[in-house]
């Protein structure tokens, strides 16, 4: 199993930390992982993206231009990364703020209304965990017990009291992910 993922959105949405939790969780399950962030001019321009690879085998290139799954959280990232999903792959996006919805017909497309859900919950902080839940529902590449361990490992001890909230958000994300366009 190898899952190659791009997560892309605005800085501050928790894109990099969501990738980190995923990578830590994979590591706890004894998988090979890599986490390659954007750190260049795009970061300084407000957008952020990270490539995460989780695999049973040694990972070759940590830098990719084609992905099994793209998780897209703003319009700029949609413009840039819709085309990078491998044929038959998965695109997950939050429709909030998206003006040009994806149009590809050779991939599976899902929406997750995480901004709305986080607003309902009154906690913008769990936004990225709702998204992570949506991803894990579609691609259960890491077992839930290891997600727990990944949260423990990646969050500093002073934030460990937030782990139950994070896990609830992951569970909620699994519920609210909706198919938008599916291949036969």
Partner 1 sequence: MKDIRLMKGNEAIAEGVIRAGCDGYFGYPITPQSEVLEYLMMNKPEERTGMIVLQAESEIASIHMVYGGAGCGKRVMTSSSSPGISLMQEGISFLAGTELPCLLLNVVRGGPGLGTIQPSQSDYFQAVKGGGHGDYKMIVLAPASVQEMYDFAKLGFELAFKHRIQVMVLSDGAIGQMMEKVELDEQVPRLTDEEIAIKYPWATLGKPTTRERNIITSLDLDPVKQEKINIHLQEKFRHIEQTEVRFESFMCEDAEYLFVAYGSSARVCQKAIQLGRAKGIKVGLLRPITLFPYPTQEIARLSKQVKGILSVEMSAGQMVEDVRLAANGAVPVEHYGRLGGIIPAPDEVLNVLEEKFIAKNNHGRSAN
Compute the least distance from the CB of residue 172 to partner 1, in Å.
26
- Write b or e for each residue in 6-45: b if 16 or more Cβ atoms lie within 10 A of its Cβ, otherwise e: bbbbebebbbbebbbbbbbbbbbbebebbbbbbeeebeee
Instruction: Give 31 or 137: the residue with its C-beta nearer to partner 1.
Output: 31
Neighbouring C-beta atoms of residue 178, cutoff 10 Å: 12
Site for partner 1, rule CB under 8 A: 20, 23-24, 27, 32-37, 39-41, 59-66, 153-154
Please give the structure tokens belonging to residue 50.
């990270």
Phi first, then psi: give them for residue 152, nearest 5 degrees: -60, -40
Q: Taking the chain, what is the end-to-end CA distance rounded to the nearest angstrom?
A: 23
Distance of CA 102 to the CA centre of its chain: 17
Compute the least distance from the CB of residue 30 to partner 1, in Å.
9
Compute the least distance from the CB of residue 60 to partner 1, in Å.
4
**C-alpha to C-alpha distance for 129 and 32, rounded to whole angstroms:** 22
Compute the least distance from the CB of residue 140 to partner 1, in Å.
21
Compute the least distance from the CB of residue 123 to partner 1, in Å.
26
Instruction: Give 40 or 122: the residue with its C-beta nearer to partner 1.
Output: 40
Instruction: Give 27 or 112: the residue with its C-beta nearer to partner 1.
Output: 27
Instruction: Give 20 or 172: the residue with its C-beta nearer to partner 1.
Output: 20
Instruction: Give 50 or 91: the residue with its C-beta nearer to partner 1.
Output: 50
Phi first, then psi: give them for residue 74, nearest 5 degrees: -160, 170
3-class secondary-structure state, position 78: helix
């Amino acid at each position: 199993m190898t899952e190659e993922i791009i997560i892309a959105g605005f800085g501050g949405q928790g894109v990099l930390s969501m990738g980190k939790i995923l990578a830590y969780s994979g590591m706890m399950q004894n998988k090979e992982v890599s986490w390659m962030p954007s750190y260049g001019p795009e970061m300084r321009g407000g957008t952020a993206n990270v490539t995460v690879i989780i695999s049973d085998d040694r990972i070759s290139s940590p830098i990719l231009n084609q992905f099994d799954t793209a998780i897209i959280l703003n319009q700029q990232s949609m413009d840039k990364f819709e085309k990078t999903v491998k044929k038959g792959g998965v695109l997950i996006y939050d429709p909030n703020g998206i003006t040009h919805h994806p149009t590809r017909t050779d991939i599976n497309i899902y929406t997750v209304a995480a901004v709305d859900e986080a607003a309902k919950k009154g906690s913008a902080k769990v936004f990225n965990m709702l998204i992570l839940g949506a991803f894990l529902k579609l691609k259960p590449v890491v077992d839930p017990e290891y997600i727990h361990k990944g949260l423990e490992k990646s969050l500093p001890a002073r934030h460990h009291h937030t782990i139950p909230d994070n896990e609830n958000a992951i569970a909620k994300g699994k519920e609210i992910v909706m198919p938008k366009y599916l291949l036969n």
